[in-house]
Amino acid sequence: MNEKILIPRSIRKYLKTIHQLDNNKKDIFLRFSRLYNISLVCGSKEPTLLVAYKICSIEALAEIVNMKYSPFMVKYNDENFDKKLSDYFYKTRSSHFHSGKQYFNESNISFLLEFDNILQEKNKELYELNKFIRIAIVNFLTEDLKIKNNEPF
């Protein structure tokens, strides 16, 4: 709390580009932003929820270019992208929303989490998925919306 927030000087370019989108694309971008924010705020202690909402946010963003989640992730990622891992988490999203399944032992109370090898492996996979999602978002913004940020904070 009460920490200084640094905003890049070039934020105007981002906001201007988003403002100039047609109304439908602007609405989609705002939905993407809200879903992504929900994933960060509400998912900070619930990793399955975090994954589910982040994937939903990418589904929303992909609508701007008339794509579905998986093709969008493939198109806007680099050569290190793990499609199998990404598709696995897409199924995680679906089973979480449709049947309440949790994949990170949120409902399993254990005080020995550092010894839970399965949870540790899932956390590594979550880290990788988050990396792929960030890469896709940045590449989409720079390639399709033509937003370039060469300025420092």
CB 52 within 8 A of CB 92: yes
The end-to-end CA distance of the chain, in Å, is: 20
Percentage of residues of the chain with pLDDT beyond 90:
49
Rg (C-alpha) for the chain, rounded Å, is: 17
**What pLDDT score does 40 carry?**
94
Q: What is the mean pLDDT of residues 129-144?
A: 92
Q: What residue spans of the chain are helical by DSSP H?
A: 11-19, 23-42, 47-62, 69-75, 83-99, 117-143
Q: Is the dihedral of CA 65, 70, 73, 78 positive or negative?
A: negative
Contacts 24+ apart (CB under 8 A), 119-123: 122/47, 123/47
Q: What is the mean pLDDT of residues 58-68?
A: 95
For the cut 70, the answer to whether the pLDDT of residue 31 exceeds it is: yes
C-alpha 94/C-alpha 56 separation (Å) is: 10
Residues written for the chain: 153
CB atoms within 10 A of CB 49: 20
Percentage of residues of the chain with pLDDT beyond 70:
86
* Of residues 4 and 148, more confidently modeled: 4
Q: What is the mean pLDDT of residues 39-61?
A: 93
**What pLDDT score does 27 carry?**
95
Q: What is the mean pLDDT of residues 81-96?
A: 90
C-alpha 12/C-alpha 107 separation (Å) is: 43
Instruction: Among 68-77, 97-106, 109-118, 122-131, name the most confident range.
Output: 68-77
